[in-house]
Amino acid sequence: MRRSASPLVALALSVLALLSCQPQPKQLFIEVDNSRRTVTTDTATVREALAAAGVSLGALDRAKPDLYVETAPDMVIVVTRVEEKYETERVTVPFEHETAVNEALPAGESRVIQLGVNGEDEVTYRRVLENGIEVERTEISRTSVSRPVNEIVAVGAREELPAVSLGGTIAYLSAGNAWLMRDSSAGRQPLTTAGDLDGRVFELSPDGHSLLFSRRLTGDAQTPLNQLCSVDTTIVGERPISLPIQGALYAEWSPDGTQVAYSTAQRSASPPGWRANNDLWLVQAGQLISGTLRPTQLISANTAGEYSWWGSTFRWAPDGQKIAFAGADHVGVVEVLSGRLRTLAQFVPYRTYSEWVWTPAPAWSADSAFVAAAIHGAPLAAEDAQDSPAFDLWAFAADGSFKVPLAGQVGMWACPSWGAAGVLYGQAANPLQSADSRYALMLRDRDGSNPRQLFPVNQEPGVETPPQVAWSPSGQEYVFVYNGNLYLSDVRGGAQRQLTTDSQNSQPRWVRGR
């Protein structure tokens, strides 16, 4: 018979088993706050060991190994203190250097016309520090305190072009300044020198004695879009004057020069940078110059039509009794005396998939009976109506009685203009991709018949978009912009005569006045 173990032995074995199940003290090393601590603890995890050692962790602090890892003898625990700070400082924004070609200077000469001034931004950074050392610096916001002013150096580019006689006065834009030619291309001279014309308004009075233009204004969202100004063209060196109208999208002299029509907009922080009011006002020219503004409203501010925030285009009829207007989906006429509106055409707007909006450019016949305009056409296939690439040229009776198709598939930038010989317009080289196509200059009789190409006459690529043309007072000659320069031609299709050389010209205006 087998004898059982003594009670004393059984008790010893039970105690040994119980002791083996209890956590055993172990030596650990904790590196924290630029020191190394040695601790002896029986805790099971890194989290518990740190707590037992009196080491607290901030919300961003890290431990290695991770807090859930079991402790082991001679384990090294590294604690990284992490801080996040936000700091704001002002930084310099260096100005840029610009070169402006200036025909008033001989070739090879240069002149600083605007000194550069550094700007300043207020920048907020997010800084991340580990154990007091920066490991990350991120810019999270930037606010302009003052904008830099670029240095502008005018460089002479005068070339000896043959002088061309002109029947009247031509004004044009060049590098943000207004220039004038009177009687001859050899006598061109600048009317402004600050280089701040924004090109929204640029209109020569019928007698050629005054230029109406808009200057851009810089500032925050509360700053007006621009400042309407005028300058006397008959006195060399005359300083422009500011007029009591700001935020002008359109302004134009009446055909007799006694009134000015204008439309306004508000600056906007979102693209395209303004929100049109789509209003239309009339003011006596004398009041405008004297500053005693008492305008008459023809069209009240409105949001009628698609994409109305872009704004309408306007054009005064030669008889002074009507003004044509056009938006992204319509063309119409407003009567000056009564303010009566008449819609001549409605169509589906063109979707550009960008921040700009296409609108027609209406043009009047000399007798004020017809308005010509390119109209967005119907789809050519299964595309959505707003995506149709078709644009056709139409003439509309100003009284709304009928309309006549002048030419099909001309492109969105046809920009017609009416001269004594008919309608001059742009014909896109690629009419189904006409937004950035080059354009030929075409002339048709007022009924759309007898088409002929005026430019190019050889192998030139055509004019840039949009075509820019100004008829002579006789309606037989015209000035157009090609590769940034002005050229003179006539309806007979003769050789073009170059008038400028600096490749920065736009918006020619031609009147009879001298």
Say if 294 falls within a structural domain: yes
Q: Strands 241-246 and 226-232: what pairing? A: antiparallel
Structure tokens at 113: 């016309």
Residue 8 lies in a domain: no
Same domain, 69 and 176: no
Q: 169 lies in a domain? A: yes
pLDDT averaged over every residue in the chain: 90
Q: List the single range of 42-46, 365-369, 485-489 with lowest mean pLDDT.
A: 42-46
Query: Whole-structure pTM over 0.85, yes or no?
Result: no
pLDDT over 90 percentage in the chain: 73
Read off the pLDDT of each residue in 227-237 and give the average, rounded to a whole number. 92
Q: Are residues 33 and 99 in the same domain?
A: no
10 Å Cβ neighbour count for 59?
Answer: 6
Single-letter code of the amino acid located at 444: R
Query: Which residue in this structure is represented by tokens 């070339």?
Result: 159
**Alpha helices per DSSP H over 381-435:** none
Closest CA to 309 of 274, 344, 348: 274
pLDDT value at 382 more than 70? yes
CATH number for 428: 2.120.10.30
Task: Examine residue 488 and state whether it is found in any structural domain, yes or no.
Answer: yes
**pLDDT at residue 291, as a whole number:** 84
What is the model's pLDDT at position 32?
92
Q: Which of 97-111, 362-376, 470-484 has the lowest mean pLDDT?
A: 97-111
Give the pLDDT score at 14.
Answer: 58
- Together in a domain, 277 and 198: yes
Listed residue (415, 388, 492) closest to 407, CA to CA: 415
296 and 223 in a single domain? The answer is yes
| Domain identity same for 266 and 294 | yes
| Averaged pLDDT, 433-451 | 94
State the pLDDT at residue 13.
56
Phi, psi torsion values for 20, nearest 5 degrees: -70, -25
**Cα–Cα distance measured from residue 176 to residue 181, given in angstroms and rounded to the nearest whole number:** 17
Let me know whether 192 and 254 are in one domain. yes
SS (HEC) of 37-53: EEEEECCCEHHHHHHHC
User: Which domain, by its residues, includes 72?
Assistant: 27-80
Residue 397 falls inside a structural domain: yes
284-307 confidence digits (pLDDT tens): 999 988 888 899 999 999 998 899
Using the predicted structure, report yes or no on whether residue 12 has a pLDDT greater than 60. no
Is 94 domain-assigned? yes
Q: Which residue did the predictor score with more confidence, 261 or 2?
A: 261
* 20/105: higher pLDDT: 105
Q: Are residues 307 and 230 in the same domain?
A: yes
* Domain assignment present for 17: no
> What is the arithmetic mean of pLDDT over 233-253?
93
The half-sphere exposure of 309 on its side-chain side, counting CA atoms within 13 A, is 10
Grade residue 223 by pLDDT with cuts at 50, 70 and 90. Answer: very high
Please check whether residue 396 lies inside any domain of the structure: yes
126: domain CATH number?
Answer: 2.20.230.10
Does residue 499 carry a pLDDT above 50? yes
Residues 229 and 122 in one domain: no
Q: Name the one residue in this structure whose structure tokens are 């007022």.
A: 446
Q: Residue 18 pLDDT more than 70?
A: no
For range 58-62, the mean pLDDT:
91
Residue 333 has pLDDT above 60, yes or no: yes
Same domain, residue pair 343 and 426? yes
Whether residue 1 is predicted with pLDDT greater than 50 in this model: the reply is no
441 and 500 co-located in one domain: yes
Could you tell me if 479 and 469 are in contact, meaning their C-beta atoms sit under 8 angstroms apart? Answer: yes
Closest CA to 178 of 247, 114, 230, 249: 230
Tens of pLDDT, residues 305-322: 899 999 999 999 999 999
Q: What's the number of domains the chain is made of?
A: 3
Residues 257 and 288 in one domain: yes
Q: What is the pLDDT averaged over residues 50-79? A: 92
Dihedral of CA atoms 414, 340, 251, 205 in degrees, nearest 10, equals: 90
> Rounded to an integer, what distance in angstroms lies between the CA atom of residue 283 and that of residue 294?
7
Domain end call among 96, 125, 146: 146
Distance (Å, whole) CA 137 – CA 461: 51
Same domain? 242 vs 130: no
Please tell me the distance from the alpha carbon of residue 82 to that of residue 298, in angstroms, as a whole number: 66
What was the pLDDT predicted at 513? 72
